[in-house]
Structure 1
Amino acid sequence: MALYTVLVVLSLLPLLEAQNPEQANITIGEPITNETLSWLSDKWFFIGAAFRKLEYSQAIQTMQTEFFYLTTDLINDTIELRESLTISDQCVYNSTHLGFQRENGTFSKYEGGVETFADLIVLKKHGAIMLAFDLKDEKKRGLSLYAKKPDITPELREVFQKAVKDVGMDESEIIFVDWKKDKCGQQEKTQLELEKETKKDP
């Protein structure tokens, strides 16, 4: 059962096809430039999400925290994703590759022989991004928020809440992460300290 839960949670980043609904005021479909890709190559913290699809919403509640590193490959137009998730007070690691489509500003991923997509929404001013999921389907739509710091400003929180309402969802559907529950950050810090000490040894 635990393995199934992990697989469900890891299937959240597999990105669902998204389209721009008329009621949305958020800007999607912006081309992805090399400058944007360089900016994306960083450590990101999952802040929160609103998912209509029940199994995704339940999986988000199961997942306590998530942070990940993106490393872009401009030659092959791929992004390496290395993520660390806290689930049931345990740290789970995963790595995969995402594709991106420069012209229409989407991320993509192959899973089970199917390529799925999500629109990238860049919020450089806030050091954040959003991913828009299947917005034209009332039963499947979703919006997720990621930032370069786990502690977000009230302004960014309001931006995300407004965006959720703009795509036809309610603020009550948002699930925010409690970073006090993170178990991976300390493990990563300890590992980095060990590596530094190892390099010092003759």
Structure 2
Amino acid sequence: MALPWALAVLSLFPLLDAHSPTCTNFSVPITNATLDQVSGKWFYIASVFHLPEYKESTKKIQAAFFYFAPNHEEDTLLLREYTTIGNQCIYNSSSVKVDRENGTLAKFAEGKVHFGYLLLPKDPKTFMLAFPEDKQNMGLSFYADKPEATKEQMEQFYEHLACMGMDKSEVIYSDEKKDLCEPLEKQHEEERKKGERPKADTV
């Protein structure tokens, strides 16, 4: 069974009373160029979550990667995610709603709308999702186009952590060596070539 959206690769939780830290702007409008920049394959690298239940769930993620496919007219991103948890691969596909004006990505799950602010660092081969809640609930997740981020890319992540008042010692990292989803990904690619639609699966 796939993890709930709030506990999966793109862990987004409700911004009940979001604050705007002075260190960065969390409401940068999203354009077609932005959507094109985040399209394609991405790897989950690391994250920090202060909410205990999300923090514990994130620890269970051994490795993860996903695909974003933008639909400019509908302001959505098709999400196909492959997550290795408990030594098994979990595949799930869903749709992510884009709020261009507020700069957020959102998904409806378990009766709630979950939001995260899309952050684009200087390096176009990375992006982050920020959750500028109060100190007890805030979070930040980091993604790159390769399974291992460079030292320079990680520094960008650490700088944003510091801005939000979170510590480097809190970071939970993924481990690409534990990825078990590559075979399923290849299977899905073969199915697409044949015109078949991949189904949610666990291996």
Shorter-chain TM-score bucket reads 0.7 to 0.9
Q: Which has the higher helix share?
A: 1
Q: Kindly name which structure, 1 or 2, has the bigger radius of gyration based on alpha carbons.
A: 1
Q: Which amino acid aligns with 2:168?
A: E
Alignment-derived partner of residue 168 in structure 1: 165
* 1:56 maps to 2:54: yes
In the alignment, residue 31 of structure 1 is paired with which amino acid?
A: P
2: CA distance, partners of 1:12 / 1:195? 24
Aligned equivalent of 1:188:
185
The 3 A distance-change label for structure 1 pair 12 and 30 is closer
Letter in 2 for 1:36: T
Q: Does residue 102 of the first structure (1) align with residue 97 of the second (2)?
A: no
Output the TM-score relative to the length of structure 2: 0.84
Alpha-carbon RMSD across the aligned residues, in angstroms, is: 2.4
> Which residue of the partner structure matches residue 67 of structure 1?
65
Paired letter, 1:22:
P
Assess if the C-alpha contact under 8 Å between 1:72 and 1:78 holds in 2: yes
For 1:154, the aligned partner's letter is K
Query: Any unmatched runs of 5+ in structure 1?
Result: none
Aligned to 1:21: 20
Q: Deviations over 1:20-79 (max 9, x none)?
A: 5334x2332111111111121111110000000111111111110111111111111111
What whole-Å deviation, never above 9, does each CA across 1:63-111 have from its counterpart, x for those lacking one?
1011111111111111111100001111001111111111121111112
Decide whether the 8 Å contact of 2:27 with 2:102 is kept in 1: yes
Q: How many aligned positions are there?
A: 193
> Contact 1:110/1:116 (CA < 8 Å) preserved in 2?
yes
Residue identity (%): 37
What residue in structure 2 maps to residue 47 of structure 1? Answer: 45
Report SS of the residue matched to 2:28: coil
CA deviations on 1:109-149 (whole Å, 9 max, x unpaired) are 1123322211110125241111111x241110000001111
Query: What is the letter of the counterpart of residue 51 of structure 2?
Result: K
Q: Which residue of 2 aligns with 1:156?
A: 153
The alpha carbon displacement at 1:190 in A equals: 5.7
TM-score when normalising by structure 1: 0.85
